[in-house]
Amino acid sequence: MGNADFECPHRVAIPPKKPFLDSLSSNLKETFFPDDPFKQFKNQPLPTQIFLWLKYFIPFLSWAPHYTLDFFKADLVAGITIASLAVPQGISYANLASIPPIIGLYSSFVPPLIYAMLGSSKDVAVGTVAVASLLMSAMLGKEVNPVEHPKQYVQLVFTATFFAGVFQASLGFLRLGLIVDFLSHATIVGFMGGAATVVCLQQLKGITGLVHFTHETDIVSVMRSLFTQLHKWRWESIVLGCCFLFFLLLTRYLSKKKPIFFWISALAPLTSVILGSLLVYLTHAEKHGVQVIGSLKKGLNPPSVSDLVFGSPHLAITIKTGIIIGIIGLAEGVAVGRSFAAFKNYHIDGNKEMIAFGMMNIVGSCTSCYLTAGPFSRTAVNFNAGCKTAVSNIVMAIALMITLLFLTPFFHYTPLVVLSAIIITAMLGLINYEEVIHLWKIDKFDFVVCLGAYIGVVFGSVETGLIVAITLSLLRVLLIMARPRTLVLGNIPNSTIYRSVDQYPTANRVPGILILQLEAPIYFANSNYLRERLSRWITDEEERIKTSGETSLQYIILDMSGVSSIDSSGISMLEEVKKSTERKGLKLVLCNPRSEVIKKLNEVKFIEAIGQEWIYLTVGEAVTACNFMLHTCKPNHAAAELNSLV
């Protein structure tokens, strides 16, 4: 290639300096306010701003003026349908949390009303969550025995719910939802699957009719407790449990095969409760080893503000429990809301959801409710029933109010074994083995994270599983940051495009030039690795050239288009690489440094040291210039020659 073939490259621009406060404000906005929620308030009069603020924090005000009778008809059907599921689930999950069943019913009355006002999802149906119920029983039950000290235990449950609500609302108000994002999809799949397995194992107590059972959740303790009490198994409970379990699984299977019959599966739990209660009442099965709920007092939620204990010696474990169940509630609720919003092509605000969940749990803890979220099973029923807005939650709350005022005595003879069958059926839907197989196919590390979470929950505890899952997820983030990929680029034949030679085997290496692409920000965590990796690429390339007899290596081009930012350690690394290449008689060339990167390189005089003429906008221009120098002058005089031409 001669002089006639050389074209003057486009200069890489150095952005103008911004005042520190402007730069800080811009970075904070990108981090915490990517959706720019304050845009609508600009240039508006004060009364309008106040109204817009109310609409922002109370989404109900946005859609209520446009509510129609057709919407109400759809929401009425959906609300009654999910109410039929809420009653048996509320009682069942309260039993799982080792609290009085009436609290499970209370929890489906007040929180849905709060969510209907503050939530941004049209489909989420509020209710108690099995995993959170199990967590409460497992964590708080170690501190206070729910059988020996029921009142103290319930106080801890309400207090943990309060702290969960405060934590959730704080994340929303401070727009720190990115914390929940550390629970990756693989983490949630493994954790939920493990928790569902543990919940199912715990229900073997109800199925077999055992009175005393281990409070541990790991599979070894459960199996030991189960098989050391073989002589205490009640065949009546086993037969009744298996019959209702078969009925519930059959209705669930039919609903999955024919989605139009979703109502069969939705009504099956309440049908089971009614049939089970009638069977026990008519046969007096409670006198033959079949345990029943017993009497439930009538009336609406009594206040429980006085039951919040902030001076308890168990305050530390209560706060810890609240934070953990708050994270689980958010992870499930927000994920479920986003999933169903995607089906209807609308967007939900994650921060508003956090505020809504937090406020309903704060208010709930003061009105005899324990933790509520947006469980998948209830939301799926609400979605399939054709809900249009959050009014379906209000309808459900009214139906629960009627139940609390007039119908609670009818649940006296409800057998616990039926509740166990209902819980097992609901939990089997959370063991998503198909997704685990999918993870294995597309990402082995995600599969390991998922499996680690599952094993941690099943063989350790729910806390252990959560810690293992989060640790593995963070480890992956750290590995990606600390060990970013570096690629050798080659020229795609008959083009000016340069791509990885591993991905495109037909791409040709350019004689005398090594083109390396960096694919991550350069930080203190990866600067040493990148320095060593670049040095090894250069050494490997020199050895390859010696064996192949090609043109000796003269130029190192670093494609920095993937480097979004750099810190002082990264700058020091580039300076060391520059010195190292110069000692070998090689010239370092930079290609397409991003705005933030080139500003910092300019500040530390690195551009002056390397020479503005050795920084190019594209790899193609950099290769053209290097080829020009290779064919016209020696590398030592290249900079001066190029300066005179440019």
What does the DSSP assignment read for 485-511?
-EEEEEEPTTSS-EEETTT-TTPBPPT
Question: Which H helix or E strand runs over 557?
Answer: strand 555-559
**For every residue of 560-572, which 3-state class applies, written as one string?**
CCCCCCECHHHHH
- 150-173 and 315-343 are packed helices; what angle lies between their axes, rounded to 10 degrees? 50
**Do you know the residue count of the chain?**
646
Tell me the two tokens of residue 176: 């720190």
- Distance in angstroms (rounded) separating the CA atoms of residues 61 and 630: 70
At 31 the pLDDT is 64
Q: Please, which residues have CB within 8 angstroms of residue 370's CB and are 6 or more apart in sequence?
A: 94, 97, 99, 103, 104, 107, 128, 133, 136, 157, 158, 161, 364
Query: Nearest 5 degrees, angle CA 438-CA 443-CA 447?
Result: 70
Q: Please, which residues have CB within 8 angstroms of residue 399's CB and are 6 or more apart in sequence?
A: 79, 80, 83, 86
Q: Please, which residues have CB within 8 angstroms of residue 376's CB and are 6 or more apart in sequence?
A: 332, 336, 429, 430
Q: Which residues pair with 517 in a beta bridge?
A: 487, 559
Picking from 356, 374, 350, 388, the residue whose alpha carbon sits closest to that of residue 116 is 356
Q: How many CA atoms lie within 13 A of 38 on its CB side?
A: 5
Q: Please, which residues have CB within 8 angstroms of residue 360's CB and are 6 or more apart in sequence?
A: 110, 111, 112, 114, 115, 118, 126, 165, 372
Specify the residue for token string 């799982």: 96
Picking from 117, 105, 131, 24, the residue whose alpha carbon sits closest to that of residue 62 is 117
At 248 the pLDDT is 87
At 645 the pLDDT is 44
- pTM of the predicted protein model: 0.75
- Distance in angstroms (rounded) separating the CA atoms of residues 551 and 147: 83
Q: What's the average pLDDT block by block, 10 residues per block, for the chain (646 residues)? A: 48 74 68 63 74 80 87 89 85 88 93 92 90 87 88 94 95 76 76 82 82 77 86 83 89 80 78 88 80 84 92 90 90 81 80 91 95 86 85 94 90 85 81 88 88 88 78 81 89 90 91 91 90 92 85 90 90 93 92 90 90 89 87 54 44
- Distance in angstroms (rounded) separating the CA atoms of residues 575 and 91: 66
Alpha helices, DSSP H, located in 549-645: 568-583, 595-603, 606-610, 619-632, 638-645
CB-based burial, 422-448: b 16+ in 10 Å, e otherwise: bbbbbbbebbbeebbeebeeeeeebbb
- Distance in angstroms (rounded) separating the CA atoms of residues 136 and 318: 9
At 37 the pLDDT is 65
Query: Nearest 5 degrees, angle CA 4-CA 8-CA 12?
Result: 160
Q: What is the distance of C-alpha 283 from the center of its chain?
A: 48
Would you give the DSSP letter of residue 11? Answer: P
Q: Please, which residues have CB within 8 angstroms of residue 503's CB and are 6 or more apart in sequence?
A: none
Q: Please, which residues have CB within 8 angstroms of residue 17's CB and are 6 or more apart in sequence?
A: 599
DSSP 374-394: --HHHHHHHHHTT--STHHHH
In the chain the domains, ranked by start, together with CATH numbers, are 66-474 (no CATH), 482-631 (3.30.750.24)
- Distance in angstroms (rounded) separating the CA atoms of residues 529 and 507: 26
Alpha helices, DSSP H, located in 366-494: 376-384, 391-402, 416-428, 433-442, 444-455, 462-482
SS3 234: coil
At 33 the pLDDT is 63
- Distance in angstroms (rounded) separating the CA atoms of residues 277 and 123: 32
Q: Which residues pair with 615 in a beta bridge?
A: 590
At 330 the pLDDT is 86
Burial of 282 (0-12, 13-18, 19+ CB in 10 A): exposed
CB-based burial, 144-168: b 16+ in 10 Å, e otherwise: bebeeeeebbbbbbbbbbbbbbbbb
Query: Nearest 5 degrees, angle CA 552-CA 553-CA 559?
Result: 155
- Distance in angstroms (rounded) separating the CA atoms of residues 161 and 365: 6
